[in-house]
Structure 1
Amino acid sequence: MYKRPPEGGEYKIVVDRIIEIKKKLKDTDTQSKLIHAEPNGSGKYGILALESKVEINGELLLAAEQQQSIDRILNNRYRVIKKLGEGGFGLTLLAEDMQMPSHRHCVIKQLKPNTKNPKIDQSVRERFAQEAAVLEKLGEGHSQIPELYGHFEEDGLFFLAQEWIDGETLSDKVKNGGKMSEHEVKEILASLLLVLDYIHEKQIIHRDVKPQNILFRKSDSQPVLIDFGVVKETFDREVDTLGCDVTASMGTPQFMAPEQAAGRPEYASDLYSLGLTAIYLLTGIWPQELETDAQTREIVWRDRAGKVSVRFGAVLDKAIRFHPRARFKTAKEMLLALQEQITPPVASSDSRKTVATGGKKTLIFGIFAIAIIALGAGVFYLKKS
Structure 2
Amino acid sequence: MSTEYMPHPVALVAGERVGECVIRRRVGAGSFGAVYLVDCEGDPFAIKFALRRPESDDLNQTGARLRKEMASLLQIRHPNIVRTYGYGRWPHPKKGYPYLLMDYVDGPTLHVWRRQVAPTFRQVLELFCTMARVMDVLDQAQVRHRDVKGANILVRPSDGQPVLVDFGSAHYAAGVRLTEGPLAPATPHYRTPESLRFHRHNYRNPEAHYLSQLTDDLYSLGVTLYEALVGRAPFSLDLPREILNIEIEQRVPPPLSKFDERIPASVSQVVLRLLSKRPEDRHQTGQALYDDLQALLKSVGALLDERVLVQPVDLVSTEDDEDDEE
Give the aligned partner of residue 258 of structure 1. 193
Q: Bigger CA drift: 150-159 or 275-284?
A: 150-159
Which one-letter code corresponds to 1:310 in the other structure? A
Q: CA deviation at 1:329?
A: 1.5
- 1:96 aligned counterpart, secondary structure: strand
- Seen in structure 2, the aligned counterparts of structure 1 residues 82 and 325 have a Cα distance that, compared at 3 Å, is same
Pair 1:82 & 2:36 matched: no
Q: Bigger CA drift: 301-310 or 271-280?
A: 301-310
2:79 aligned residue (143, 161, 169): 143
Pair 1:210 & 2:153 matched: no
Q: CA deviation at 1:107?
A: 0.9
Pair 1:272 & 2:212 matched: no
Consecutive unaligned residues of structure 1, counting only runs of 5 or more, are: 1-39, 42-47, 49-63, 239-244, 344-385
Consecutive unaligned residues of structure 2, counting only runs of 5 or more, are: 200-209, 299-326
Please give the alpha-carbon distance, in whole angstroms, between the structure 1 residues aligned to 2:28 and 2:151: 11
Which one-letter code corresponds to 2:190 in the other structure? F
- Seen in structure 2, the aligned counterparts of structure 1 residues 115 and 72 have a Cα distance that, compared at 3 Å, is same
Counterpart contact for 1:249–1:260, Cα < 8 Å:
no
Please give the alpha-carbon distance, in whole angstroms, between the structure 1 residues aligned to 2:58 and 2:145: 28
- 1:341 aligned counterpart, secondary structure: helix
Q: CA deviation at 1:160?
A: 0.7
Give the aligned partner of residue 172 of structure 1. 112
Instruction: Quote the RMSD (CA, aligned, Å).
Output: 3.6
Counterpart contact for 1:188–1:223, Cα < 8 Å:
yes
Q: How does 1:75-224 map to 2 (within 5 A)?
A: 76-97=19-40, 100=41, 103-112=42-51, 116=55, 129=67, 131-138=69-76, 141-154=77-90, 155-178=95-118, 180-224=119-163
- Seen in structure 2, the aligned counterparts of structure 1 residues 117 and 168 have a Cα distance that, compared at 3 Å, is closer
- Seen in structure 2, the aligned counterparts of structure 1 residues 70 and 327 have a Cα distance that, compared at 3 Å, is same
Percent identity over the alignment?
25
Residues 54-90 of structure 1 deviation map (CA, whole Å, 9 limit, x = unaligned)? xxxxxxxxxx78642222211x212111111111111
Give the aligned partner of residue 273 of structure 2. 318
Residues 108-150 of structure 1 deviation map (CA, whole Å, 9 limit, x = unaligned)? 11014587469999x9877754642331341xx2111122121
Counterpart contact for 2:80–2:163, Cα < 8 Å:
yes
Q: Bigger CA drift: 169-178 or 226-235?
A: 226-235
Give the aligned partner of residue 337 of structure 1. 292
Q: How does 1:27-38 map to 2 (within 5 A)?
A: none
- Seen in structure 2, the aligned counterparts of structure 1 residues 258 and 166 have a Cα distance that, compared at 3 Å, is same
- 2:295 aligned counterpart, secondary structure: coil
Aligned residues: 268
Q: CA deviation at 1:247?
A: 7.2
Please give the alpha-carbon distance, in whole angstroms, between the structure 2 residues aligned to 1:284 and 1:255: 15
Counterpart contact for 2:66–2:168, Cα < 8 Å:
no
Counterpart contact for 1:106–1:163, Cα < 8 Å:
yes
Q: TM-score, normalised by structure 2?
A: 0.70
Please give the alpha-carbon distance, in whole angstroms, between the structure 1 residues aligned to 2:58 and 2:27: 32
- 2:99 aligned counterpart, secondary structure: strand
- 1:84 aligned counterpart, secondary structure: strand
- Seen in structure 2, the aligned counterparts of structure 1 residues 236 and 212 have a Cα distance that, compared at 3 Å, is farther
Q: CA deviation at 1:265?
A: 2.2
Residues 140-187 of structure 1 deviation map (CA, whole Å, 9 limit, x = unaligned)? x21111221211123432101111112221110223244x44322211
Q: TM-score, normalised by structure 1?
A: 0.60
Please give the alpha-carbon distance, in whole angstroms, between the structure 2 residues aligned to 1:167 and 1:306: 31
Higher RCO structure, 1 or 2 (CA under 8 Å, sep 6+): 2
Give the aligned partner of residue 165 of structure 2. 226
Counterpart contact for 1:128–1:231, Cα < 8 Å:
no
Give the aligned partner of residue 300 of structure 1. 254
Counterpart contact for 1:136–1:148, Cα < 8 Å:
yes
Please give the alpha-carbon distance, in whole angstroms, between the structure 2 residues aligned to 1:65 and 1:127: 17
Give the aligned partner of residue 307 of structure 2. none
